[in-house]
Amino acid sequence: MAARPPPHIGGRRTGLREYTADTVQSLFSLRDLECFMAVVEHKTFSRAAQSLHLAQPPLSRRIAELERALGAHLFIRGARQAQLTEAGIALAREARIVLEQAKLAESIVRDTIAGKTGHVRIGYASPSAFTAVPEAAQRFRKLHPRATLKFVRYYISHQNDALRSGAIDIGLINGWFDAEDFRAETLQINRLVLALPATHAKARQPVINVGDLVDEPFIEFPRSGPLGIHDLVRSVTARAGFIPRIVHEVEGHSLVTACVAAGLGVAFVNEAAVGEPTTGVVYREISPPSPEVRMTALSRSDEVNPLVHAFVEQLKIVCSQDARPVH
């Protein structure tokens, strides 16, 4: 039996519906394209139907509907196999791209749900305050090689708003905070130490009595946001019986220590920040010891991204000082 040629489109009626912008909206469902490509690959409707777990008549009707919607035959139906027409060749080329992209999109979504891919945005104020972050990031990357970590610098007093707005997924903070709508994970518990110029008369003392600082000029963190170090410092000096003489108020550990290095005054800082050396500054323990300063990872209480929780978990492991190799 000879192959039936495609009808001439244009010039005379063929019984096929004309292609319009309105019909294109319903032409290319993924299932339609899967059925079409099955015929292309198997070259017969019967084998294509078997591969799709369909009966042959429903598959033939589906292809026929697609042809009518397009206004063009896609196959020359022969006795032994179906051959592509020029229109069919064009559609096959594009259908492959669409189906491959659909599979990729599905894979990305599934991997995101499973926590295999995606991104985590981490807000930090000072890299020196969180020396555990690089090791935690390294461990996280071994477990989630297709995920992306992005570090964004935010003053601690701004991190609450950044979390609520979605600008960051994790906030790394020191001190007191309002955790009513956040999930808080304590990473470390530290205390305050005294930063003073290397040329200071007390710089050689291993431990400095807070009461001996009554006449010293102080560099201070502002009393704003969730940090709470301002109030903690005031509680330390109040126990020693004096109110500190503040000469400068600055936000951020690096600015505070820069002022100390310049000889403008002394400052109480979180001992976790001491890991980053600053020329011209020495750090000394104080007596009596300060109250605790908690280093905390904040995330949204309704967070559904598994990568956020995975990174916080690595931070907790590293900060516990009981980190084991990740394979």
HSE, CB side, 13 Å, CA atoms: give it for residue 251: 14
Do residues 316 and 187 lie in contact, with contact meaning Cβ atoms separated by under 8 Å? yes
Using alpha carbons, select from 279, 288, 281, 287 the residue that is nearest to residue 267. 281
Using alpha carbons, select from 53, 47, 156, 32 the residue that is nearest to residue 95. 32
Instruction: Give every residue of the chain whose pLDDT is below 70, as ranges.
Output: 1-28, 107-108, 111-117, 126-130, 157, 175-179, 224-228, 275-277, 321-327
CATH for 118-187+295-319, options being 3.20.20.30, 3.40.190.10, 2.120.10.30, 2.60.98.20: 3.40.190.10
Do residues 157 and 226 lie in contact, with contact meaning Cβ atoms separated by under 8 Å? yes
Which class does domain 192-291 fall in?
alpha beta
Which class does domain 23-113 fall in?
mainly alpha
pLDDT of residue 175: 66
Ranges of CATH 3.40.190.10 domains, the chain: 118-187+295-319, 192-291
Distance CA 66, CA 64 (A): 5
Q: Maximum CA pair distance of the chain?
A: 109
What pTM value is reported for the model?
A: 0.56
pLDDT of residue 2: 43
pLDDT of residue 224: 60
Ranges of CATH 1.10.10.10 domains, the chain: 23-113
Distance CA 284, CA 150 (A): 34
pLDDT of residue 140: 92
Distance CA 136, CA 323 (A): 9
Q: Which residues contact 127 (CB under 8 A, 6 or more apart)?
A: 133, 276
